[in-house]
Structures are given as C-alpha cells and as structure tokens.
Amino acid sequence: MTLKLEKISQTVGGQMHIYPLDLALAPNAVTVFLGATQAGKTSLMRLMAGLDTPTAGQVWVDGKDVTGMGVRDRNVAMVYQQFINYPSMNVFDNIASPMRLRGDKDIATKVKVLAARLRIDPFLDRLPAALSGGQQQRVALARALAKQAPLMFLDEPLVNLDYKLREELREDLTQLFEAGSGTVVYATTEPTEALLLGGYTAVMKEGRVLQYGPTLEVFRRPQSLDVARAFSDPPINVLQARAMAGSWQLDDHSALALTQINSDAGHVQIGLRASALRTDMRTGDVALKATVQLAEISGTDTFVHLSCGSMELVMQKTGVHFFEIGAALQVYLNERDAYVFNDEGKLMRLPLDMAGAN
Amino acid sequence: MVAHIELDLAHSYHANPQQDADYALLPLKMTFKAGGAYALLGPSGCGKTTMLNIISGLVQPSHGHLTFNGEDVTSLTPQQRNIAQVFQFPVIYDTMTVGENLAFPLRNRQMPREQIRQRVGQIAEMLELNGQLNQRAAGLSADAKQKISLGRGLVRPDVAAILFDEPLTVIDPHLKWQLRRKLKQVHQELKHTLIYVTHDQVEALTFAQEVVVMTRGRAVQVGSAEALFERPAHTFVGHFIGSPGMNFLPAVCTAQSLHIGASQLALPPELAQQLAGTTSLKLGVRPEYITVHAQPVAGSLPAKVLRWQDLGISGLLTTQCEAATVRVRLAGAVASQWQVGQTVHVQVIGSHSCFYENEELIV
C-alpha cells in the first residue's frame, strides 16, 4: 500500500504543530519517525491514521484522497506507549476481537499462531491485568497484527518497558516487520532503535521533517547539524572552528586541516560522533588535552564525558573502562572522520571515506 | 558514624513460607563496607527494593538480623538507625526556599544555626544549587526539585548510610549524566556508605564500586562493572548486563571434547578435566568476543546467518548455531561480507569463554 502526504499542515489553537510538508512513505517497509519529544511525531502519525484532520493539504492512500476520512473508515492498526487492551477480556479474546469483527473462520488456530509468535501463548486465558508490562504490550501488538491492516502505526511502543524487555520485544518486532508485507510507521526518540529497525527514517524536529531516506543513509549523511544531533546517541560532538593562517583553530587553540573546506568560510562547525574520538593515536591525528568529567558504563560500551577548555565532548569506547573523575586524558581525532557544517548548520562536507562511496 | 552493614537474613511477605517462590529475599549473607558505593540492580520483582527497605528499617526481615558496625539494628526504626533516603520522586516543601529545604533535616536535629549555614552552603555548592538558595522551590523544574531532594539526603554529616531508590527516574535523559557525575563526586568527597537501587544497568555500573545483581530474591553476583562483564558468575548476569547479553550454548563434555548439538570441539586436556562430571553445562560467550570466519577455525562452530543489522558504527550479526541463537557484535562501520542464509563459522572458544554448570560459573 502507498501513503502520500501532500502539503499537509496542522495548526492547533493558532500554534503550528506540523509545518507544511510532503512525504511519501516507502511502501511495505518500516518508516521510523525519529525525534525528541514534541518533535511532531505523534501529530503526524495521527494525521496519517485519520485520527486528526489536517488544517491544510491532502492524505493519499493507494492513489485515493482520504483527507477527512475518519480512522474507523480507514484500515489501520495502532499501538501506543501505554499498554491498551480490553481489561475485562482475557488474552485470547483480546487477540480474537479484530478477527471476530471481520467474521474470520478458524479463529482459535489463528490466535494461537499469533500468540506463539509473540510468546504469550501460555497466558491466553488470563486477564491483561495479571500480566507484566512487557506481556501486556505483546497482547496489544498481537491484537494490532490480528487486524491485518495494510498500515500499522506504533507510537514509542517500548518506551514504558525495562531495557531488557525492550531489547527482546524490539527483536521480535524486527522479525515480524521482516516477515510482514504491510507498511509500518514507528515513532521513537532513540537513534539506536531506528538503526536496529532499519528500513527508512524521517528525522523530525519542531513540527518539520528534516530529512527522509533509507535509515543508514540518513545516519551516515545527515544534511544538517540538526539531523546529525537527532541521529546520534551519545550526542554528536560539535566543535567550533575558525580559519587561521591556513588551518582551522578550535576553541582550545589546537589546529587542524579541513580538506575541501575553503578558509573563506571563516567559521565552521565540526561534527564528530563519539566513536570518532579515541585514546590511541593514528597518523594525521590531532591531540586534545582533556579532563575526564565522568565515565558512564553500559557494559557493552563506556561513554567518557570530557571537557577541553570550553568544549564539552563525549568519547565512546567498546567494553568496560575506568577513568577517574578529574583525570587528565589525551584524546585524538582525525579530520577524516569529521562532518563539517556551516554557521547555519548546513552540511558542507562528509567524513572523507563516505564521500562518493555508499 | 559511617556504617559497615552486615545482613544475614531472609524475608517473606507470607506468614508461613513453604517454597523459594514465597520469599521476596532468599536467605543471604551480605556485607556493605563502610564508605562503599553499592548498587542493587535487577528487574522488577527481583527483591532489590525489599533489600533496601530492610536496610533502611521500613521493613523488618521475617528471618535473621542485620548489624550496623556490629550492633544489631534489626528492630530499630529508620530514625534510630540514622538513615537518610532519597526516593524516585522529589520530596520537598514547595512553600520553603531551596536553602530552607536543605536546612530542614538539620534544623530537625537542632544543629546550631551557624553550622547549618555552613553545611547547607557546602552541599549547595556541590550540587550547584548555590545560585538558587533564596528561591522558592515551588516554581522549579522536576530536575531541580530532585536535586534538592538529593541535597536533603546528603546534608546530614552524621548519617550511617544514604539510600537511593531509583533517584534519577524523573530526570531528563540529557541531564542524567551530570547528576550521575555529581553523585560520584559527592561520594568521593563525603565518603558515606551509599546504597542505590536501580533497574538500569548504566546507572548501576556507572555509580557503584560494587554492583549487586539480583533476580528472583537472590543476589547472584556482587562485583565491579568489569567483573560483571568479563566473568559473569551466573547466566542471569551474563544475560542482563550488556546489550545484547551473553550468548549461551548448552553443551556436553566428554573425555577430550565438547559436544554442542551435532558439533564437536576439541578441548585442551586441562579444560576438559575442569569440565568433567558436569551434567547441565552451558558455554557462555559475549557477542563482542566472537569472531566470524568463512572456513572452520579452532574452537569454531558452523552457524547460519539469520540477520545482519548495520548500526552505523558497529554491526550485529544474528546466527542460528545448533539449537541456540548466537549474536555477534562486529566493531567498526564495515559493511557485512556475510549473506543471510549463508553458513559461517563462529569462534566461540577463546580466552573470554565462560562455562556454567546449573547456571553458575565454574570455569
């Protein structure tokens, strides 16, 4: 199925919630809406689903104008942050309800297959309230899938779960999306979640879609500093650089070259992902004398917060590492790994090994 | 006086506990050294909050006792134990100023006025609240209010221990690291015994010198972040720490070799000896420590590629290896050379491999 937004906008009480935008969803694939809270992800989803009517513009589904058509007349399924189920129905009846509405045959078998895929088959005769949060959200997902709608919306479905449950359910979702043939829209605030889901990503900020494309493409080639910021966790390091006598000077007075960037620009902003800062030196590196603010340990990675003069930086290292608060630490960066943005935050140059290659 | 805390107890909310499942905390012995920073980490229902409440005195253990510096405090109230606590949500007085809020626990204990002024100033400076001392608490953000709650927990110099129950829940994700840093600095400066409950691994591993990992009423490992990552003492720790967690492969050990499903791996004699006689053996290896090869290598098993996820700065390869799903984390932004459906060879035996008998680490 195809879904296209044409010059869609939404104003609520004089306030612009969605600025005029065009967007055509990749059919039969996952599109991630990535952005901070209040970026407009939910508003845009509600317009797409027919829960709200746009102030201006059209919604096209399979070539048909469905603007103003309510959600009940549209074939869509939704899953929310909150675990929404019918509280007085057991798990079986919850999952079966869309099938019954449709008048399906052989409901018992279909419910069992779906429940097994979401690993809630042992709980079919329980009420939702007797289940853990993760299981309740699995029931809501199973019911949404039972609807077999060609268009499914998931609005931060994992945000209220502990991280281990989130990890498990995300993996199950990835498998379901791979196997399914529907068009899925999935809202999240987490860059890593977008990367794990793959597909396509629309980065949103303050009611605007900043960039839309295949997820990895958007991650690797952000066209603006805003997109790079929204799509970096830990946050991307942003260094101010001034043209000085044939090189570029950072706030701590260290200097580096920036290939392809004309010094006429005078002032540029350098974006360096946390993984591009290192403690081992390589050829052509620039050294920064930094002070450790904190080492955050996730197990898989260590995120080292650093200060360097007026600059605040984050370095990502794989594995568990200890750094004393206040310790001096020499860290290295290479201009090859740098994104360069102009004063307005528009991309001037990609990291060198990304230019041209895919 | 800073407390050295010893637990030798169990707790059940049932009157007559019959089986393990009836216990919120199974019988355990545990030591919290004076001046140490500890985290109690585990999923909801693991018993971590019960343990915290027993230490604070909000809950009396149904069995056994606990001591502070050798003195039995089992029947004492939180006040008598001289415990300070910080909860999930801010507990402050909206009508008071920030300074009055910080001073409140000290005024309650009749500390001389000048001493209160000094101590409040010191804590406010530590938490970077000194610019707001005369401001009313009512208008402040949730973050700022929780910082005041932290300050109120830290302000009394003479407490036996300070207990934290998920104190950063309400803090904006972007500001969390700054408060984590504050807490670590505060610990270095004040040298209190700090015990911190959380379900978040980053929170626990970052804050604590020693992390107590709990599941189903049991403390399955007490150790540093490095120990929990490198040598998980229990399969639950391997699973819970790290994202994704450790891979586990059921195995059977015979005289010279390890049998995993239909595959067989030669074992060094010394290792084979250590694993002899096991009946419920599992091989554990973290996704970070597996290498992938096109041809068999020493210690490798054949596996079928199920999925490749390019995460921009690293990649996650999911494979089917005998009956288990084995995940491999590949560092660097390299495109995968492996195709879905292809058979690869995953090297699972190496210096980082762990062996578990009945879920407990043996080698």
User: Does residue B178 register a pLDDT over 90?
Assistant: no
SS3 B150: helix
Torsions phi, psi of A193, nearest 5? -65, -40
Which domains can be identified in chain A, with CATH numbers?
3-230 (3.40.50.300), 237-354 (2.40.50.140)
ipTM of the complex: 0.90
* B264 Cβ neighbours under 8 A, 6+ residues apart: B257, B258
Q: CA-to-CA distance for B9 and B61, rounded, in angstroms?
A: 7
Distance from CA of A6 to the nearest CA of B (A): 31
Confidence class of residue A28 from pLDDT cuts 50, 70 and 90?
A: very high
Q: Which residues in chain B touch residue A320, judged by CB atoms under 8 angstroms apart?
A: 205, 225-226, 229-230
How many Å apart are CA A215 and CA A231, to the nearest integer? 10
Q: Is some CB atom of chain B closer than 8 A to the CB atom of A298?
A: yes
| Sign of the alpha-carbon dihedral angle for A184, A190, A195, A196 | negative
Query: Does any CB of chain B come closer than 8 Å to the CB of residue A322?
Result: yes
Task: Assess A36–B contact: CB distance below 8 Å, yes or no.
Answer: no
Q: Is the per-residue pLDDT at B220 higher than 90? A: yes
> How does residue A211 score in pLDDT terms, banded at 50, 70 and 90?
very high
Local confidence band at A356 (pLDDT 50, 70, 90 cut-offs): low
**Chain B residues with CB-CB distance to A300 below 8 A:** 242-243, 288, 329
Looking at residues B210-216, what average pLDDT do you find?
Answer: 97
Strands B37-41 and B210-215 turn out to be parallel
Is A163 within 8 Å of B331 when comparing Cβ atoms? no
User: For residue B294, with 0-12 CB atoms within 10 Å meaning exposed, 13-18 middle and 19 or more buried, which class applies?
Assistant: exposed
Check CB contact of B200 with chain A, cutoff 8 Å. yes
Q: Is the Cβ pair A297, B225 closer than 8 Å?
A: yes
Name the minimum distance, in Å, from the CA of A254 to any CA of chain B.
Answer: 26
Of A165, A300, A325, Cβ closest to residue B288: A300
The average confidence (pLDDT) of chain A is: 93
Burial of residue B143, with CB atoms counted within 10 A of its CB: 0-12 exposed, 13-18 middle, 19 or more buried: middle
Using the Cβ of A220 and the Cβ atoms of chain B, whether some distance falls under 8 Å is answered with yes
Q: Are A121 and A79 in contact (CB under 8 A)?
A: no
- Best probe of the B interface among A320, A324, A354, by most B CBs < 10 A, is A320
Q: What's this model's pTM, rounded to 2 decimal places?
A: 0.91
Mind listing the domains of chain B with CATH numbers? Answer: 5-237 (3.40.50.300), 243-361 (2.40.50.140)
Q: What residues are paired with B6 via a beta bridge?
A: B31, B67
Q: E strands within A156-266?
A: 183-188, 200-205, 208-214, 237-244, 247-249, 255-256
Hunting for tokens 């309740």 — which residue is that?
A136
- Rounded to a whole number, what is the distance in Å from the CA of B353 to chain A's nearest CA? 16
CA–CA separation, A122 and A140 (whole Å): 16
Contacts of A165 in chain B (CB under 8 A): 43
Arithmetic mean of pLDDT, B58-65: 96
Hey, are the CB atoms on A163 and B288 less than 8 Å from each other?
no
Place of tokens 């597909």: A199
Residue of B nearest to A219 (CA): B312
> Mean pLDDT throughout B293-315?
94
Distance CA A145, CA A134 (A): 16
Q: Which residues of chain A are within 8 Å of residue B239 when distances are taken between CB atoms?
A: 164
Contact state of B202 with A174 under an 8 Å Cβ cutoff: no
Where does the pLDDT of residue B74 fall: very low under 50, low under 70, confident under 90, or very high at 90 and above? Answer: very high
